[in-house]
Amino acid sequence: MVASYFLSDPSVLLSDLVFGLLLGCVLAVVAHGLNMIWGVVKVVNIAHGEFIMLGAYGAYFLNLYWGIGPLASAVFDAAIGFLVGYAFYYVFLHRELRGKETVSLQSEMVTLVATFGLSLVISTLALIIFSGNVVGIDYDPGTLLLGPVSVPLGGLYVAVVSILIISGTYLFLERTFIGAAIRAYSQDVTATELIGANPAKVASLATALGFAITMAGGALLTVFISVGINPLMGTLYAPISFVIVVMGGPGKMWGSLAGGLTLGIVFDVLQAVATPQIAFATGFLLLIPVLILRPEGILK
């Protein structure tokens, strides 16, 4: 089966590979918000997937009622996500983090479990409000034919936006004063004060940015899953995001892209040569060797 796949028409293989790369870009941006929060605030939001889901529904409803496309919806989602992120920081994280230099294992456990609870609350509410039906957005700008290789334009747009978002956050962290404060916080909380910034403000801003990116990522994702928006989609995209962030290394902005592309290609190629189940199982299990061999992520 595997052999026959590789012996088949090379243009099919190339198209698959291109699709894998595009998928990788969108998975990267979906995980990127988590990466930001994990890298800076050192907390993992287990309800991450539910906020992706909310972002996807945001795009869906904006499209349903006002005909807005997913790319434009991402902007609305980001604005909402920003506010939600602030609220999240002050409800879930502030009590555990304020005045502490490092996140203790106890705080880590508390936030893990509390956000696990949050994921259940949000997905249940979503089931009640949105019903369990699977919906999608009808958005297809066509296909670009590059010789024998076909590139879906929607996916290409999304990939470009994803890369813009990731490089944008990179530049923001490297080139601006606020970015420097966020980097300082991620390395040493007290250092934040030394450069004259308030740690809680920095941490909440980073969390808000993370949420903005997460929800925007949910909107972008809808282009790829033309019929796949549902209240429980978070249970798939959260673990995918965890794997991507661990692979790339929490806090490394380009790590999201490295992890996303790796996973995108693994999913895509294994789905073609084996089964979707094998593809998912392998993609998830990839986390284990990465944790053993390169606990700081695949990027230097």
Partner 1 sequence: MKGRTPFTLYGLLAVMAALAAVASFSGVATTVLLVNLLVFAALAYSINFITGMTGYVSFGHVVFMAIGSYSLAVLVSTYSTSPFEGIALGALLGGLFALGIGAVTLRFRGVYFAIASLVLALAGYNLVLQFPQFGPGGELIFYIPFQPLTVFFAIWGIVVAEIVLTFFVNRGKVGLGIRAIKDEEDAAAAAGVNPMKLKLYVYMLSGLFAGAAGAVFAWSTFGVNASSAFDLTFSLQMLAMILIGGMGTSTGPLLGASIVYLLYYELLTYPRLQGGQFLVVGAAVIVIALFVPDGIVGIIRRKYPSLKPVIE
Nearer of residues 110 and 299 to partner 1, judged by Cβ? 110
Nearer of residues 11 and 277 to partner 1, judged by Cβ? 277
Nearer of residues 125 and 227 to partner 1, judged by Cβ? 125
Minimal distance, residue 137 CB to partner 1, in Å: 25
Among residues 94, 137, 93, the alpha carbon closest in space to that of 115 is found at 93
Residue 146: both structure tokens together: 């590059």
Nearer of residues 54 and 158 to partner 1, judged by Cβ? 54
Minimal distance, residue 292 CB to partner 1, in Å: 7
What b/e readout covers 46-58, taking b as 16+ CB neighbours within 10 angstroms?
bbbbbbbbbbbbb
Minimal distance, residue 208 CB to partner 1, in Å: 19
What is the greatest pairwise CA distance in the chain? 62
CA distance readout (Å), 298 to 31, 37, 211: 16, 19, 24
Q: Check if the beta carbon of residue 23 is closer than 8 Å to that of residue 268.
A: yes
Q: Check if the beta carbon of residue 297 is closer than 8 Å to that of residue 248.
A: yes
Nearer of residues 23 and 243 to partner 1, judged by Cβ? 243
Cβ neighbours of residue 295 closer than 8 Å, sequence gap 6 or more: none
Minimal distance, residue 198 CB to partner 1, in Å: 22
Rounded CA separation 156/58 (Å): 21
Nearer of residues 86 and 284 to partner 1, judged by Cβ? 284
Minimal distance, residue 297 CB to partner 1, in Å: 12
Among residues 34, 66, 64, 70, the alpha carbon closest in space to that of 50 is found at 34
Nearer of residues 130 and 254 to partner 1, judged by Cβ? 130
Rounded CA separation 269/276 (Å): 10
State phi, psi for 26 to the nearest 5 degrees: -75, -35
Rounded CA separation 102/249 (Å): 18
Q: Which runs of E-coded beta strand occur in 138-179? A: 143-146, 149-152
Nearer of residues 8 and 235 to partner 1, judged by Cβ? 235
| C-alpha atoms less than 13 angstroms from C-alpha of 264 in its C-beta half-sphere | 26
Minimal distance, residue 164 CB to partner 1, in Å: 28
Contacts with partner 1 by CB under 8 A lie at 44, 46, 92, 95-96, 105-106, 108-114, 116-121, 124-125, 127-128, 235, 239, 242-243, 246, 275-278, 280-282, 284-285, 287-288, 291-292, 295
Total residue length of the chain: 300
Minimal distance, residue 242 CB to partner 1, in Å: 5
Minimal distance, residue 107 CB to partner 1, in Å: 10
Residue 236 CB neighbour total at 10 angstroms: 16
